[in-house]
Structure 1
Amino acid sequence: MKEFPTLVAQESTLVGRGYLEAAADIRLSSAGWVAVTAVEGDQVLLRVHGPEAAGFTLREPPLLPHIVSLKGERIRKSPAYELMKPAGMLGSK
């Protein structure tokens, strides 16, 4: 890729259903989707940036509204198991 394509923004609004239920999905052309959650009743403005040729659409209702509740088992001694401190707390005990 000699030149990075121009990015364009697409905006959508949705109303949150709580953090355990997706309010909508953002479909990413040829890549999959991202489930979006928000505080119940809050109105959210989403702005997705991507190449002009790529298609982004908002899917309401979401394909799997409760997918955000499904989490795999934490594997001890793996990088994903370790708790990470926020950047402001690095160096503090």
Structure 2
Amino acid sequence: MHLRDWMKQNGVTQQELARRLRPPISQAKVSHWLQGSRRVDLHSALQLVEITGGAVTFKDLAELSGHRQARDPAWPHPQGRPCIDVAGPVCVAQDEPRKEAA
């Protein structure tokens, strides 16, 4: 469920939601989340899932900022899933040891 939909169904304003978080945040930050111009941080996401009783999920919160899981038409790969995380460790083949990024 979209956070905005949950807020509407439950009569919760941006200001009230901002105050329910610990530590409280600004109403403007909630507005940025709803507009998709800022990502919900992990600490806030954990609280939002709890506050909404799970009606708003981590996936819902990730999608607020336009994050979408990329579909891979070649899955499943015969050699296993390739490593495509350019910020993480470098992977070559599954049979070879991992090399740390420089």
Provide the TM-score with structure 2 as the length reference: 0.22
Higher normalized strand content (fraction of residues): 1
Greater radius of gyration (CA): 2
TM-score (norm 1): 0.24
Structure whose residues are more often helix by fraction: 2
